[in-house]
Structure 1
Amino acid sequence: MEELIELRKSITSGDYSKALEIVDQLEEMSLEDKLNKIYSYTVILLLHLIKQEAEGKTTRSWSNSILNSAEQINRINKRRKSGGYYAKAEVLQEIIDDAFPPALRNAALEASGGAYQEEELLKMISSLSDIKQKALNLLESKT
């Protein structure tokens, strides 16, 4: 909110270079907020993909969570007015890579009633890259 007050002051005083700096800051803050939301949903998406793979089964709840997470990520990522996306495939891949460790940690707590440590759960997964690719495929079709 402070930024908007400063922006108004800069515009009314004719300090347009300062106003443009503030606009740049606001744009960066907005983008960072979008990417943080995408990251949070990606953790949830990966958590359920990991559980599906490790347990060799799925539940309606897990499937719904995967679908909901992918839909939310795609909704947040879509630029409404100008079209296009905030995060292209390479940025989404980075987010998936960053989100995997916390997703694995959470999956270890949930899969099979928390019976496995992270390392054990990783051994139950046939391919780490397959899970990451599956997540990217759920998102890439929209980017």
Structure 2
Amino acid sequence: MEELLELKQLLLGGNIQSALLLVEEMTEMSKDDKLNKISSFAKILLLHLIKRQAEKKTTRSWDVSIENAVYEIQKTNRRRKAGGNYLLMEELHEAISDAYQVALSSASAEAFGGCYTMEQIGNMVDRTAIIDQAMSLILGNNQEG
């Protein structure tokens, strides 16, 4: 809110250059917020995709978590008025990839009752396939695993 008031003052004062710099800063802040939300939901999505692949089963609860995470990522990334997405496909892929390690750590605590280490769970699954599946689900290509 402070930024909007500052922007108003800069515009009323005719300081267009500073106003444009502030708009760029606000745009980056907004994109960072979107990225943080997407990352949080990506961790949940990947956690359940990892458990699904490692345990070679699924549960209704995991499926619902996957569906909800995909929905929230899609909703957060969608530009409502301008159309398109906040994150380009490459940026989205990077965000999903970055969330993988945290999801793997969580999966090691949950899968098989937590009896395997993160490294052991990591050896049971195909990282690339899981990330590809997550991207496919987010982009609307409903591949089930």
- Same fold judged by TM-score > 0.5? yes
User: 5 Å matches for 1:1-143?
Assistant: 1-125=1-125, 127-141=126-140
CA contact (8 A) 1:89 1:140 kept: no
Q: Secondary structure at the match of 1:58?
A: coil
Paired AA for residue 85 in structure 1: N
SS at 2:10's partner residue? helix
**20-29 or 1-10: bigger deviation:** 1-10
1:72-95 deviations in Å (ceiling 9; x for gaps): 000111111111111122111111
Distance in 2 (CA, whole Å) between partners of 1:30 and 1:40 is: 16
Distance 1:15 1:123 in 2: 57
User: Counterpart amino acid of 2:22?
Assistant: I
Q: Deviation of residue 5 (structure 1)? A: 2.4
Task: Report the count of equivalent residues.
Answer: 141
Aligned-partner SS, 2:116: coil
In structure 1, what is the Cα distance between the partners aligned to 2:111 and 2:94? 25
- Following superposition, the deviation at residue 2 of structure 1 comes to 2.5
Percent of pairs with identical residues: 47
- Tell me the SS of whatever aligns to 1:87: coil
Query: How far 1:60 sits from its partner (Å)?
Result: 0.6
Deviates more, 1:89-98 or 1:58-67: 89-98
In the aligned structure 1, how far is the partner of 2:99 from the partner of 2:133?
14
**Which whole-Å CA distance do the structure 2 matches of 1:91 and 1:13 have between them?**
37
Query: Following TM superposition, where does structure 1 have runs of at least 4 consecutive aligned residues deviating by more than 6 angstroms?
Result: none
Residues 48, 65 of structure 1: 8 Å contact kept: yes
1:131, distance to aligned residue in structure 2 (A): 0.8
Q: Following the alignment from structure 2 to structure 1, what is the Cα–Cα distance between the partners of residues 2 and 74?
A: 30
The RMSD of aligned alpha carbons is 1.2
Q: Deviations over 1:88-117 (max 9, x none)?
A: 221111111100000000111111221110
Could you list the per-position Cα deviations for residues 15-38 of structure 1 after superposition, in whole angstroms to 9, with x for gaps in the alignment?
121111111111111111111111
CA distance in 1, matches of 2:20, 2:120: 52
Provide Cα deviations, 1:13-72, integer angstroms capped at 9, x if missing partner. 121211111111111111111111111100110000000111111111100000000000
Please list every run of 5 or more consecutive structure 2 residues that lacks an aligned counterpart in the other structure. none
